[in-house]
Amino acid sequence: MKKIVAILMAMLMVMSVTVVFAGSVADKDTEPKVPVIIGFKDTPKQADKDMIRGYGGDIKYSYTIISAIAAKLPMQAIDKIKKNHGVAYVEMDGEVHLLDAELDNSWGVKRIGAGIVHGYNKGAGINVSIIDTGIDYTHEDLDANYKGGYDFVNDDADPMDDNGHGTHCAGIVAAEDNGEGVVGVAPEAHLYAVKVLDSAGSGYLSDVIAGIQWSIDNGMQVISMSLGTDTDYQSLHDACDAAYEAGIVLVAAAGNDYLRRGRTEFDTVDYPARYDSVIAVGATDSNDEKASFSSTGADVELAAPGVDILSTYPGGYEYMSGTSMACPHVAGTAALVMVSEPTFTNSEVRQRLQATADDLGAAGFDYWYGYGLVDADEAAALPDTTPPGITNVTASDITSISATIAWNTDEPADSLVKYGTEPGNYTLEAYDSADVTSHSVGLAGLLSNTTYYYVVNSTDLSGNSAQSSGYNFTTKEAPGNTMHVASIDMSTTKIRLNGWYTYATAAVTIVDADGKPVEGATVSGHWSGLTSDSDSGTTDGDGTIALDSDSVKNADGTFTFTVDNVTKEGWVYDPSKNVETSDSITV
């Protein structure tokens, strides 16, 4: 007996795996055959199938979502096939089965706030595939939501649950809100049974991969997998990645293998939960504490109720515990999010689940709870359609050329002022994108002694916009002494000093409202392009100041100078009258 794989049914269940290898015989047609999965470097061709058959192999599945074939091969053929240049890997297709489950009071759906969401969202029409032991589709709490599936154990279209585990998980996702028994997280989601484990809880990796392929081919939006293995199989990894690339949200139980020795806590998250394409779910109890059995590690993404969970079971209802029970709580919540945000991609659904989870344990992300306890109420909250309330609109700091408009909103929102010189004709705008509740927007370059009419707008984080009624203010008379930039004349100077250096000169001329030079005005500005220094200086009797840039060795490009401010006591700088504010020269 040799352990090959352990696909855990992630309740308080321990899986054992056995594959028996019998002694080989010379005749490949009579030699016992072992189940394997053969991965190819390219898509399997007819020649690859012929090769497998030529070695005495029996093909079970030829997958389309991964470049692999599941088959039974004589033991002696395995090494030969591995040597084929087109083969990427050969993995054992291990037999798996569950041994036991604890039966324990349902509280999970209530704890994650799903009942609050049900008043407006029950996950209607979202396709959820339960890859498990099947579903008792005759159950009074599941029959209306069951929409089909496939039995890969018996290779037929009748995935009836002959174990109970799959029915229990299905009820957590979507037990009907019909006054009977229990209510699932998403009680109007569509359930699909993908049976890959038999009545004893046993199955094959090849069937799990086939079930994932079936889910892709049949339009599933969520896959719930309350199963796992402590071995990383390339074929399973590739299948999960293919499903994620197809837009499906994959959720899996993290496992029930918590292990700590002394101060060392081991990473025991199972596969496929450990894969980046899959949401790994740990289990919590009614006190929001990690279940004693729940696996921990860096790949735990979310936590959910998993102890003493009442759900559907063939013939009635049962209590069960395990990360198997935690997993479908998250799968059901994903269905609710898909209804509340129908344009979300699977990646955005996943981000929403992370962002709205209730933080447990150590602050922030941790190895016990991941981002925290899944919160259906926040993740699938009723969309915000209420625009922000606008109050206290004022105009202040009014000068001949500027003013400040301020207001408040009752929630964070951006700031937009629309204004103009005619009532209702708002041809100008000033905007601040910051989401705040106290808004202040400056208006510049205004005309003196002019009445401006304006409204304010704010848009909240949900995209709801509000606009105030109209207001007005009048700018002040322009002071007698105003000045502006009349011109900027650019030149360059090249000098040799241990190499060639070039600097630029900006000759800035300042004049008054009548075009006369202004002496003694301080001009401040900055250089960009080949340099990034700042300069300032005072104008002479011609109203001009020459400002030099830093020198640049072997200069090849553009020097640009921009006037930032002009000051002189008793004078007002009016940039709206500038003939030019910046100029450039290329060397």
- Could you state, in chain order, the average pLDDT of each consecutive group of 10 residues for the chain (587 residues)? 36 32 38 92 94 95 96 93 95 62 62 93 97 97 98 97 97 94 96 94 92 98 95 95 98 93 91 97 96 95 96 95 96 97 96 97 95 96 89 96 96 97 96 96 94 98 94 89 95 91 97 93 97 96 97 95 95 92 97
Residues 406, 399 contacting (CB under 8 angstroms)? no
Listed in order, strand segments (DSSP E) in 139-277 are 146-151, 190-195, 203-204, 222-225, 249-253, 260-261, 264-265
Q: Which residues contact 556 (CB under 8 A, 6 or more apart)?
A: 587
Structure tokens at 1: 């007996």
Radius of gyration of the chain (CA): 36
Is the dihedral angle over the CA atoms 47, 52, 56, 60 positive or is it negative?
negative
The CATH code belonging to domain 482-586 is 2.60.40
Structure tokens at 238: 């590739």
Residue 513 is predicted with a pLDDT of 87
- Whole-angstrom distance, CA of residue 300 vs CA of residue 93: 26
Active-site choice (97, 139, 165, 237):
165
Task: Let me know if the fold of 108-379 is the same as that of 482-586.
Answer: no
Structure tokens at 135: 């579903």
Q: Which amino acid is at 547?
A: L
pTM score above 0.75: no
Fold of the domain built from segment(s) 390-474 = Immunoglobulin-like (2.60.40)
Q: Which amino acid is at 215?
A: S
210 membership: H or E segment, kind and range = helix 205-217
Q: Which amino acid is at 222?
A: V
50 membership: H or E segment, kind and range = helix 46-54
Q: From the CB of residue 422, how many other CB atoms can be counted at a distance below 10 Å? A: 10
Cis peptide before 383 (omega within 30 of 0): no
Structure tokens at 174: 């979507």
Structure tokens at 585: 């020269």
Per DSSP, the three-state class of 316 is: strand
Query: How far, in Å, are 211, 401, 404, 477 from residue 448 at the CA level?
Result: 75, 6, 15, 5
For the chain, what's the residue count?
587
Residues 235, 37 contacting (CB under 8 angstroms)? yes
Residue 523 pairs with which residues in a beta bridge?
537, 566
Residue 162 annotated in active site: no
Nearest Cα to Cα of residue 395 among 339, 323, 470, 471: 471
Strands 95-98 and 203-204: antiparallel
Our separate counts of H helices and E strands in the chain read 10, 33
Residue 148 is predicted with a pLDDT of 97
Q: Which residues contact 242 (CB under 8 A, 6 or more apart)?
A: 65, 66, 212, 216
Residue 563 is predicted with a pLDDT of 98
Query: How many Å separate Cα 353 from the centre of its chain?
Result: 9
* Strands ordered across the beta sheet of 33-40: 58-62, 68-74, 33-40, 87-92
- Whole-angstrom distance, CA of residue 353 vs CA of residue 249: 11
Nearest Cα to Cα of residue 336 among 188, 145, 143, 223: 188
Token match 């949401």: residue?
279
Listed in order, strand segments (DSSP E) in 389-427 are 390-396, 403-420
Per DSSP, the three-state class of 326 is: helix
Fold of the domain built from segment(s) 108-379 = Rossmann fold (3.40.50)
Residue 499 is predicted with a pLDDT of 87
Nearest Cα to Cα of residue 249 among 106, 123, 93: 123
Q: What is the DSSP letter of 370?
A: B
Residue 324 annotated in active site: yes
Residues 208, 10 contacting (CB under 8 angstroms)? no
Structure tokens at 578: 């500038």
Q: What are the residue ranges spanned by the domains of the chain?
A: 20-93, 108-379, 390-474, 482-586
Backbone angles phi, psi at 139, to 5 degrees: -60, 135
Strands 190-195 and 465-467: unpaired
20-93 has CATH 3.30.70.80 classification: yes
Token match 């020097």: residue?
559
Residue 545 pairs with which residues in a beta bridge?
508
Q: What is the DSSP letter of 576?
A: G
Q: From the CB of residue 47, how many other CB atoms can be counted at a distance below 10 Å? A: 10
Active-site choice (324, 340, 458, 549):
324
Q: From the CB of residue 169, how many other CB atoms can be counted at a distance below 10 Å? A: 35
Active-site choice (48, 93, 132, 535):
132
- Whole-angstrom distance, CA of residue 353 vs CA of residue 355: 6
Q: From the CB of residue 409, how many other CB atoms can be counted at a distance below 10 Å? A: 24
